[in-house]
A and B are shown apart, each in its own frame.
Chain A
Amino acid sequence: MNSMLHLINKSPFERTALDSCLRVAKAGSSILLIEDGVYAALKNAAHAIKISTRMEDFSFYVLGPDVAARGLGDTPLIEGITVVDYEGFVDLVAEHEVTQSWL
């Protein structure tokens, strides 16, 4: 089995990328939220439960530059999500054998 990093770049309010990823991804995988995917990381948003209930199954990360760009730098994120920058994004790709983008 290869270790996997899943990339989600879509808002959970608009698309099913996160739902599909959570349905199909193997427990133990990592999930990085980028671009509009960062809206899934907001603690007080309607979709927060999708991630907060799966903390045991996956390691969640969010791309800080995309959070900041959207004015969310001061908005609470779900506890347990790790904020990374682009170099952290590269490290995650390097640490996992395969990266899958949920376009």
Chain B
Amino acid sequence: MKFGILINEGPFTHQASDSAYRFAEAVLARGHEIYRVFFYNDGVYNCNKLSEPQSDDRNLVALWSKLGTENGIDLVVCIAAALRRGIKDEVVAEGFRISGLGQLVEAGIEADRLVVFGD
């Protein structure tokens, strides 16, 4: 089964990205496919490679980047939400790409399930 995931919050203020990450790992562990992860609202901050959490804390930017590159998961950051928040190509971590909102709608069409994580 193909899963789509929408993340509406950044990596620190809310648990949303953590929950989505654990969920994504479990999707793969259960033998399903992740069609796309779409980052919207403050969720666009999940791709910011300039982010430096303390060394004893998890680093969600790095975790998503690794999960995406190792499993070929399409990690898409919304361009409209990103530009507003100063997220541009030069700060985007490996494995993420910036694209339009249409990618979210397309994920809804193409995936068998879409799960939203937010505040």
Contacts A35-B16, A87-B26, A101-B115 aside, 7 further interface pairs with beta carbons under 8 A come to A7-B116, A9-B16, A36-B15, A93-B113, A93-B115, A99-B115, A101-B117
* A94 contact from B15, B32, B114, Cβ within 8 A: B32
Instruction: Tell me whether B25 is interfacial, beta carbon within 8 Å.
Output: yes
Looking at the assembled complex, report how far the CB atom of B97 sits from the nearest CB atom of chain A, in whole angstroms: 24
Interface secondary structure of A, over-half rule: helix
Which residue of chain B has the shortest Cβ distance to A97 in the bound complex? B113
Residue of A89, A90, A93 most packed against chain B (CB within 10 A): A90
Contacts from A to B (Cβ < 8 Å): 7, 9, 34-36, 65-66, 85-87, 89-91, 93-94, 98-99, 101, 103
Produce 1/0 per residue, B17-40, CB < 8 A to A: 001001101110110100000000
Which residue of chain B has the shortest Cβ distance to A103 in the bound complex? B118
* Complex Cα spacing A94 to B4, Å: 12
* B19 contact from A9, A85, A91, Cβ within 8 A: A9
A–B pairs, 8, beta carbons within 8 Å = A7-B116, A9-B15, A34-B19, A90-B3, A94-B1, A99-B116, A101-B115, A103-B118
Residues of A within 8 A of B30 (CB): 87, 90-91, 94
Contacts from B to A (Cβ < 8 Å): 1, 3, 8, 15-16, 19, 22-23, 25-27, 29-30, 32, 113-119
Looking at the assembled complex, report how far the CB atom of B23 sits from the nearest CB atom of chain A, in whole angstroms: 6
Looking at the assembled complex, report how far the CB atom of A5 sits from the nearest CB atom of chain B, in whole angstroms: 9
User: If A103-B116, A103-B118, A103-B119 touch, does A86 touch B25 (CB 8 Å cutoff)?
Assistant: yes
